[in-house]
């Protein structure tokens, strides 16, 4: 690195030099510094991160890549005429750091007192369920330069100027130019043979563009189906590729399919976005300044002499934001050379440097970026949510509650149609049937869903039964302990995730639950997964079920009892006391093994749970194995104790 005047020239090979050296230097803003290669920028930012000691570092752009904090929000009536100056304007749309959230009316006010209505969310009105969520607020525009080239040149050119392309996440570096995308075999037809077969050309044009009198706007889906039906009757046989001309892109087709009105509870509800093709666009590119196509030699003189028109499909190759507003001779030599290299010798080929505005829409931004923007700085972005079928299940903290409807709406928008309902757990699970207290925040109120776990399908009504996706691994662990001769009793079976899976593997399953709703879904799931021949269902209290099974005549000799009611399953262990009679139990059969779950907040959860278990049984358990299942809360473990019931405990004594 050398210091010349105010300009800093970085040589990457001297990267190893001492950081103290940088810190001792006074670095001033300089135009030269921006010419550093973009991948050096990260290094520079890292090295100069402690700016207070080093002086001001303004030569590099503040951050790189797309962000809601950067870019400008386009004004509907304003066209930027000077791309460079517009690029430099900082975003004023969400002045996040200087933003104070006025909780009473949902208005964001910046340090200058400018107010902006973001969404009608109010701490005083938590019951306001459907926030007026303006998705337009999230559009950000960036001025960029692009090279317009013939479609078949595009790939080759992109390979040559890779380091100078836009390279932003989820964006392609190439954009189509609407209207000129006609397939190769059609080009001759349109441009060269018109005189020869005028009637045919006319009929094809009518099929593509209608009868030439554009009437009122029709939505994309209607346009598409009309066009397709026309092609089917006119010319499809002769020109099979015609259908592709108006075909919607895959994500557009999926969207329209998914956003069809869903009938629920007799009401028609539209979920996710409202209708409209534009609203699902991630990004749009507008050409701000249309240049004359340039012939290959880049000479202004020949430019005048050879004004070439585009024939056939073209593409816009999007260049890095650094090149916005530049002329062709201001572009890096590498780009100029690549243009010459790829086009040279083909006098027919042309390219065009155009200034564009790239707009990134609401659909482009990831969930956390949007939430980070709409939530006040003091409120952390919710880190994660669980999903059960089509339901996103949040566990929001108190500070999120005033914004819960807005958070839910963004989640719904971002994950629709996979997610169709967003609910929040309002209370710790306390009910007898271990169901969650849920508040519907967005989407459908229909909480009956289908979950697929390890190839098995389960119907679950989250409002009336217990379900926990996070226990899937634990269920697999337990299944690994069973073999095909086992007889398994699931004392607290719920909708049957373990019982049904076990039935696929073992000889017989007895599944019990006290909750009638759980029993209804258990029965459905048994049929759904085709295990009805192997499962018997009971609707008893856990203790009664254990006694009933052990007293069955003829004896069924269960080999495993699973007791998953962690909060109070220990109190059910007493049901085994004296439940076996020596005269009915085949002494050659091993005594049943119990897998009992519990919670512990102790620093030594295994020891604490063992002590409680031994205390309940009143004797030592030589076969005891303890497994830590998972942390359900900070410092609160869920455990599983597996042991063979001690003989003295379970045999009936006269
Ligand atoms: C923690 S859930 C476990 C459900 C299932 N094993 C699972 O993993 O999804 C406990 C289940 O026990 C049921 N339950 C609660 N008290 C019960 C009792 N006294 N007797 C039988 N079942 C009971 C609840 O309805 C609930 O379905």
What are the pLDDT digits (tens) for 317-353? 999 998 988 888 888 988 888 877 665 555 556 778 8
The pLDDT assigned to 612 comes to 95
- Using alpha carbons, select from 331, 264, 327, 338 the residue that is nearest to residue 296: 338
The pLDDT assigned to 306 comes to 47
Give whole-number Cα distances, 562 to 475, 511, 574, in Å.
10, 10, 15
Please indicate, yes or no, if residue 301 is contained in any of the structural domains: yes
Kindly report the three-state secondary structure assignment for every residue of 435-475: CCCEEEEEECCCCEEEEEECCEEEEEECCCCCCCHHHHHHH
The pLDDT assigned to 240 comes to 43
Please indicate, yes or no, if residue 454 is contained in any of the structural domains: no
Structural domains counted in the chain: 4
Instruction: Give every residue of the chain whose pLDDT is below 70, as ranges.
Output: 1-63, 74-133, 178-280, 289-311, 341-349, 429-430, 653-654
Q: Are residues 264 and 372 in the same domain?
A: no
Q: Are residues 396 and 276 in the same domain?
A: no
Please indicate, yes or no, if residue 67 is contained in any of the structural domains: no
Give whole-number Cα distances, 510 to 225, 557, 619, 642, in Å.
54, 11, 28, 19
Q: Are residues 561 and 425 in the same domain?
A: no
**What CATH number has the domain bearing residue 415?**
3.30.300.110
* Ligand 1 centroid – CA 571 distance (Å): 14
Q: Are residues 146 and 219 in the same domain?
A: yes
Please indicate, yes or no, if residue 41 is contained in any of the structural domains: yes
The pLDDT assigned to 123 comes to 39
Q: Print the domain residue range for 28.
A: 2-54
Minimum CA distance residue for ligand 1 atom 24: 433
Task: Please give the number of the atom of ligand 1 that sits closest to the Cα of 542.
Answer: 20
The pLDDT assigned to 237 comes to 42
* Ligand 1 centroid – CA 459 distance (Å): 16
Q: Are residues 353 and 380 in the same domain?
A: no
Please indicate, yes or no, if residue 152 is contained in any of the structural domains: yes
Q: What values do phi and psi take at 337, rounded to 5?
A: -65, -40
Please indicate, yes or no, if residue 79 is contained in any of the structural domains: no
* Ligand 1 centroid – CA 450 distance (Å): 19
The pLDDT assigned to 218 comes to 52
Q: Does the interface ipTM go beyond 0.90? A: yes
Written as one string, the DSSP assignment of 282-305 is: SEEEEEEE-PPPEETT--HHHHHH
**What CATH number has the domain bearing residue 513?**
3.40.50.150
The pLDDT assigned to 537 comes to 96
The pLDDT assigned to 482 comes to 97
Q: How far apart are the first and last CA of the chain?
A: 94
Q: Are residues 326 and 215 in the same domain?
A: yes
DSSP state of 189: I
Q: Are residues 207 and 255 in the same domain?
A: yes
**Angle at 153 (CA atoms; ends 247, 251), nearest 5 degrees:** 25
Q: Give the C-alpha separation, 76 to 322, whole Å.
A: 25
Please indicate, yes or no, if residue 85 is contained in any of the structural domains: no
The domain boundary, picked from 54, 73, 90, lies at: 54
Specify which residues 536 forms β-bridges with: 510
Please indicate, yes or no, if residue 503 is contained in any of the structural domains: yes
The pLDDT assigned to 534 comes to 96
Minimum CA distance residue for ligand 1 atom 11: 492
* Ligand 1 centroid – CA 580 distance (Å): 24
Ligand 1 neighbour 383 (Cβ under 6 A): no
């Amino acid at each position: 690195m050398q210091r010349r005047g105010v300009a800093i020239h970085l040589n990457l090979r001297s990267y190893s030099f001492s950081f103290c050296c940088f810190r001792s230097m006074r670095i001033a803003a300089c135009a030269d510094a921006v010419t550093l290669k973009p991948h050096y920028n990260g290094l520079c930012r890292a090295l100069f991160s402690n700016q207070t000691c080093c002086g001001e570092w303004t030569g590099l752009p503040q951050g790189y890549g797309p962000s809601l904090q950067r870019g400008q929000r386009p004004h509907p009536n304003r066209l930027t005429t000077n791309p460079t100056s517009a690029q430099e304007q900082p975003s004023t749309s969400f002045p996040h750091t200087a933003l104070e959230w006025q909780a009473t009316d949902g208005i964001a006010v910046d340090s200058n007192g400018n107010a902006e209505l973001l969404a009608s969310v109010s701490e005083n009105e938590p019951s306001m369920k459907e926030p007026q969520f303006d998705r337009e607020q999230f559009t950000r525009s960036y001025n960029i330069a692009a090279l317009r080239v013939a479609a078949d040149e595009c790939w080759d050119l992109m390979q040559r100027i890779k380091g100078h392309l836009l390279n932003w996440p989820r964006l392609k570096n190439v954009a189509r130019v609407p209207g000129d995308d006609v397939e190769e075999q059609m080009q001759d037809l349109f441009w060269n043979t018109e005189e020869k077969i005028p009637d045919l050309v006319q009929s094809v044009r009518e099929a593509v563009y209608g009868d030439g009198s554009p009437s009122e706007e029709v939505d994309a889906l209607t346009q598409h189906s009309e066009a397709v039906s026309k092609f089917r009757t006119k010319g499809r046989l002769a020109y099979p590729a015609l259908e592709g001309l108006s075909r919607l892109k895959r994500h557009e087709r999926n969207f329209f399919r998914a956003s069809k009105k869903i009938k629920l509870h007799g009401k028609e509800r539209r979920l996710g976005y409202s209708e409209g093709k534009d609203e699902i666009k991630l990004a749009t590119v507008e050409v701000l300044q249309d240049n004359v196509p340039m012939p290959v030699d880049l000479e202004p003189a020949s430019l005048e002499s050879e004004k070439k028109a585009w024939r056939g499909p073209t593409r816009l190759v999007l260049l890095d934001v650094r090149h916005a507003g530049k002329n062709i001779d201001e572009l890096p030599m590498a780009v100029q050379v690549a243009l010459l290299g790829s086009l040279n010798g083909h006098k027919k080929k042309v390219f065009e440097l155009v200034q564009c505005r790239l707009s990134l829409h609401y659909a482009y931004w990831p969930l956390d970026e949007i939430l980070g923007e709409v939530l006040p700085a003091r409120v952390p972005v919710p880190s994660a949510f669980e999903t059960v079928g089509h339901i996103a299940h949040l566990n929001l903290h108190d500070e999120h509650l005033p914004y819960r409807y807005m958070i839910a709406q963004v989640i719904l928008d971002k994950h629709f149609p996979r997610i169709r309902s967003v609910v929040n757990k309002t209370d710790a699970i306390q009910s007898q049937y271990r169901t969650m207290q849920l508040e519907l925040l967005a989407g459908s109120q229909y909480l009956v869903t289908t979950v697929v776990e390890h190839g098995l399908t389960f119907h679950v009504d989250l409002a009336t039964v217990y379900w926990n996706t996070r226990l899937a691994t634990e269920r697999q662990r337990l299944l690994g302990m069973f073999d095909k001769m086992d007889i398994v009793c699931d004392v607290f079976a719920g909708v049957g995730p373990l019982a049904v899976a076990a039935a696929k593997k073992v000889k017989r399953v007895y599944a019990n639950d006290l909750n009638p709703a759980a029993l209804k879904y258990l029965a459905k799931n048994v049929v759904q997964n085709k295990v009805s021949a192997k499962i018997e269902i009971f609707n008893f209290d856990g203790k009664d079920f254990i006694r009933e099974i052990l007293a069955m005549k003829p004896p069924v000799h269960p080999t495993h009892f699973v007791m998953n009611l962690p909060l109070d399953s220990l109190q059910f262990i007493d049901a085994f006391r004296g439940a076996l009679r020596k005269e009915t139990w085949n002494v050659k059969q091993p005594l049943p093994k119990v897998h009992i779950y519990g919670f512990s907040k102790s620093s030594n959860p295994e020891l604490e749970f063992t002590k409680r278990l031994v205390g309940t049984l009143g004797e030592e358990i030589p076969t005891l194995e303890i497994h830590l299942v998972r942390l359900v809360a900070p410092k609160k473990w869920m455990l599983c104790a597996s042991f063979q019931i001690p003989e003295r405990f379970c045999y009936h004594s006269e």
